[in-house]
Amino acid sequence: MTRAQTDIDAEMAEAVDWLVRLQGETVTERDWLDFDAWLTASPAHAQAYDAVLTFDDRLDLDRRLAQAEPTAEPLRASAGKVVPLRPARRVWIWSAGAAIAAAFVAGAVLLPASGLLGAHETTYVTGVGERRTVALEDGSRIEMNAASRMTVRFERHARRVHLGDAQAFFDVARDSSRPFLVSAGDTQVRVVGTQFDVRHRDGQVAVNVQRGLVEVRPNLPRDAAPFRLRPGQALSHRKGQRADARVSTVAVEEVGGWRQGRLIYRDQPLSQIAGDMNRLFPRPVKLADADAANLRLSGVLIVDDQDAMVDRLSHLLPVRTTTTDDAILIRAR
Amino acid sequence: MIRLYGEKRANLVRVFAAKLRSACEAEDLIQDLYLKVQALGDVEVEGDGSALLFRMAHNLMLDRLRSQSRASARDEGWRSLQGEALGDQQVADMPSAEEVVAGRQRLNAMMTAVDALPPQVARAFKLHKLEGLSHADTAVAMGVSRSSVEKHVSAALKALMAKLP
């Protein structure tokens, strides 16, 4: 055993000891206090610890990547194993936050358009702070988020929904003779019967699947095979781009979290969060500078009162907020 | 308390991240803690309140770990999803093929380094870090005390950090 093998500096060594201790099962309040004191003693300690944490994280990730290496088992056989974490129950519970948001609902504007060739087309619009559940004649339900616009058109061989700038959660009734088609910008989504969320905001399209199988064509060439998403998968795509679509995993129970008054973010910029809030409340949230706009948040924002939400944001991110009667200004600290 | 939370937030996340092994989960948890702290309002606390804050954080973390059957279910789901992603060209790379290859190479390099460690150290490291056994279970499997396990795992990590890029 050569000395060189354990040749890391003393801070690193201490940091490793801390990490291992904290990963044990007998961590006590005393440990928390001691650890905090150690971190506070020197900025170098925190740095060393973060480096160790990163190293340990990557190790864990590599391990999982290696395990993910498929043993070429037949696809269809494994398909059944992809179970939602909790059975995908139908949740129509309205949390307190949602109830407040619902209080804003003044009823969506219905604009029945002239029926073309017998197919009837209806446009639904929700305003700022409004939300609406649309029950369609085939038994499907669409929950529209605030400040959204969509057109529904039923044809003999297809059920079509066009999403403008919108976010909506779809619970599609099964009807294999009439596929359900959603278009959002240059992206097409095709399903038979399933539950999923489509967000089309500011040229960005995101599809999140809670149940069933969803086919998505994010600006794909005609002959390309579509992406097939299963529960717990999400696809994001920027309008106009080609071959930029990325598939990621999401927790099934987080899909459509906005319906329960929870805005769930995974490393999203503050600009998006401000945009989401501006669809919920009439008083605009403004970002003072690019620094603020580019701050990123991972976590859950519960929708209740606007001031309370802004206050929580200011604790989650290094920002300072100024509230006036007609706007809330957020700047980076 | 809110002010103290602000001061301690970064350190609390560090503890959460160690145990939960997920930056996202740690961020989630710190927000839950914020809500709890906020709900306390202006309470009188002994000392500077750190003890109370840490106790709250600790309990919250235990709750989260208890529901980690959920998390391991997620792990399982993640794995099977990935199998599909890799087996089916139509579904895009979740980690790309290159990432998987790079990950495997790093893992191989690590395994080589692990095998060069003293046998007990290597065994403890493999059981805890790779097989995912707890310190206690590792101790039972090896017939040593829990604190020996911690020492071995520490020694292994230090050696690996020195050796690997």
Q: Which residues contact B9 (CB under 8 A, 6 or more apart)?
A: B30
Residue A282 lies in a domain: yes
Question: Are A214 and A281 in the same domain?
Answer: no
Question: Are A114 and A140 in the same domain?
Answer: yes
Q: Quote the percentage of chain A above a pLDDT of 90.
A: 29
Residue with tokens 């995101």: A206
Check: CB of residue A143 under 8 Å from CB of residue A256: yes
**What does the pLDDT look like over A316-326, one tens digit per residue?**
888 999 988 88
Distances (CA, A) of B132 to A24, A281, B136, B138: 12, 46, 11, 9
**What does the pLDDT look like over B107-151, one tens digit per residue?**
888 888 999 999 999 999 999 988 888 899 999 999 999 999 999
Question: Are A276 and A241 in the same domain?
Answer: no
Residue of chain B whose alpha carbon sits nearest to that of A31 = B54
- CB-nearest to B104 from A5, A65, A85 is A65
Q: Is A106 on the interface with B (CB under 8 A)?
A: no
pTM of the model: 0.47
Q: Quote the percentage of chain A above a pLDDT of 70.
A: 81
Other Cβ atoms less than 10 A from the Cβ of B100: the count is: 21
Average pLDDT, chain A: 79
- Spell out, as residue ranges, where chain B has pLDDT lower than 70: 23-24, 42-46, 68-99, 165
**What does the pLDDT look like over A197-209, one tens digit per residue?**
999 998 899 999 9
Question: Are A302 and A207 in the same domain?
Answer: no
pLDDT at B68: 59
pLDDT at B147: 92
Give me the residues of A, 197-256, that contact B with CB < 8 A: 225-230, 232-233, 235, 245-249, 251
Considering A252, A274, A300, which residue would you say is the last residue of a domain? A252
Higher pLDDT, A18 or A115: A18
Question: Are A188 and A281 in the same domain?
Answer: no
d(CA A130, CA A279): 8
CB-based burial label for A7 (10 Å; 0-12, 13-18, 19+): middle
pLDDT at B90: 31
Residue A321 lies in a domain: yes
Amino acid at B136: A
pLDDT over 50 (residue A333): yes
**Residue of B35, B40, B91 to mutate when probing chain A, most A C-beta within 10 A:** B91
**Residue of B35, B84, B105 to mutate when probing chain A, most A C-beta within 10 A:** B84
Give the CATH number, domain containing residue A271.
3.55.50.30
Q: Domain tally for chain A?
A: 2
Q: A56 contacts in B (CB within 8 Å)?
A: 18, 21, 157
Residue A144 lies in a domain: yes
Q: Which domain holds residue A187?
A: 96-252
d(CA A121, CA A112): 6
Q: What are the domain boundaries of chain B?
A: 2-69, 96-163
Cα angle, residue A144 at apex, residues A141 and A149 outer, rounded to 5°: 115
Q: Answer yes or no: do B74 and A251 touch at CB < 8 A.
A: yes
Encoding tokens for residue A161? 């929904």
**What does the pLDDT look like over A179-194, one tens digit per residue?**
899 999 899 999 877 8
Considering A252, A287, A317, which residue would you say is the last residue of a domain? A252
What was the ipTM of the complex prediction? 0.81
d(CA A162, CA A180): 11
Q: Which residues pair with A188 in a beta bridge?
A: A183, A217
d(CA A243, CA B59): 45
**What does the pLDDT look like over A158-169, one tens digit per residue?**
899 999 999 999
CATH for B96-163, among 3.40.50.1100, 2.40.160.20, 1.10.10.10, 3.40.630.30? 1.10.10.10
CATH for B2-69, among 1.10.1740, 1.10.3470, 3.10.450, 1.20.950? 1.10.1740
Considering A195, A227, A252, which residue would you say is the last residue of a domain? A252
